[in-house]
Chain A
Amino acid sequence: MLVKLKQKLGLSFEFMLLIGFLITITIFSILSFYVYRNNQALLESARKVAHTNEVLLATERLLEDLFQAETGQRGYIITGDSLFLSPYNDAIDSVNYHFNNLKELTSDNPELQADLRELGPVIDQRLQIMTKTLEVRRDEGFESAKRSLQTLLGRTLMMRIRQVIGKMQAAEKKLLTNRKEQTERDIVTFNVAYLTSMSITGIFLIGLFFMIYNNLKKRQVLEDDLKRNIETQRKLSEELAKISNKLTVANRSGGVGIWEWDIVNNILIWDHQMYQLYGITEDSFGGAYESWQQGLHPDDVERCNIEIQEALEGKRKFDSEFRVVWPDSTIHYIKGNGTIERDEKGNPLFMIGTNWDITNLKEREHEVENLNKELESFCYSVSHDLRAPLRSINGYTSALMEDYADKFDHEGKRLLGTVINSAKRMGQLIDDLLNFSKMGRQPLSRIELNMDVLVKQIASELVAEENGRSIELEIKPLGKVKADASMLQQVWVNLLSNALKYSQKKEKSVIKVGRRDDKNKGNIFYVSDNGAGFDMAYGHKLFGVFQRLHKVREFEGTGVGLALAKRIINKHDGDIWAEAEVDKGATFYFSLPDV
Chain B
Amino acid sequence: MVDILLVDDSMEDAEMAIRALKKSNLANNLLHLEDGEAALNYFYGEDKDQTNIPKIILLDLKMPKVDGIEVLRRLKGDEKFSRIPVVVMTSSKEEKDIVETYRLGVNAYIVKPVDVEKFIKAVTDVGFFWLVMNEVPHDMR
Chain A interfacial positions (CB closer than 8 Å to B): 376, 379-380, 383-385, 387-392, 394-396, 398-399, 420, 423-424, 426-428, 430-431, 434
Contact = CB atoms under 8 A, between A and B. Distances in A.
Contacts of A385: 91
B42 to A, nearest CB: 23
Given A387-B112, A399-B19, A427-B113, A392 B90 contact: no
B115 interface: yes
B117 interface: yes
B14 to A, nearest CB: 11
Given A388-B10, A391-B16, A392-B12, A427 B114 contact: yes
Given A391-B12, A426-B114, 18 more contacts: A376-B94, A380-B94, A384-B62, A384-B92, A388-B13, A388-B91, A388-B112, A391-B91, A391-B112, A391-B116, A391-B119, A392-B13, A394-B114, A394-B116, A398-B116, A399-B19, A427-B113, A428-B114
A571 B91 CA distance: 29
B138 interface: no
A424 B114 CA distance: 6
A418 B36 CA distance: 36
Interface string B74-110: 0000000000000000111110000000000000000
Contacts of A434: 93
A395 B91 contact: no
Nearest to A435: B93
Given A391-B12, A391-B112, A392-B13, A398 B92 contact: no
B114 A384 contact: no
In the A-B complex, the 9 residue pairs with the closest CB atoms: A427-B114, A392-B12, A395-B116, A395-B16, A384-B91, A387-B91, A394-B116, A390-B114, A398-B116
Contact of B92 (A380, A394, A399): A380
Nearest to A442: B95
A497 to B, nearest CB: 18
A384 B13 contact: no
B119 A395 contact: yes
Contacts of B93: 383, 431, 434
Contacts of A376: 94
Contacts of A428: 114
A398 B19 CA distance: 11
Contacts of B117: 398
B interface, how many residues as a size bin? 10 to 19
A383 B62 CA distance: 11
Contacts of A384: 62, 90-92
B112 A394 contact: no
Contacts of A387: 91, 112, 114
A423 B12 contact: no
A383 B116 contact: no
A192 to B, nearest CB: 123
15 contacts: A380-B94, A383-B92, A387-B114, A388-B91, A389-B12, A390-B114, A391-B13, A391-B112, A391-B116, A391-B119, A395-B12, A395-B15, A395-B19, A395-B119, A420-B116
Contacts of B62: 384
A324 B35 CA distance: 48
Nearest to B9: A388
Nearest to A385: B91
A424 B113 CA distance: 9
Contacts of A380: 92, 94
B125 to A, nearest CB: 17
Nearest to A423: B114
A430 B117 CA distance: 18
A423 B62 CA distance: 22
Which of B62, B91, B113, B114 has the largest count of A CB atoms less than 10 A from its CB? B114
B23 to A, nearest CB: 9
A396 B12 contact: yes
A427 B94 contact: no
Contacts of A423: 114
Contacts of B115: 394, 424, 427
Interface in B1-50: 10, 12-13, 15-16, 19
A466 to B, nearest CB: 20
B41 to A, nearest CB: 24
Contacts of B15: 395
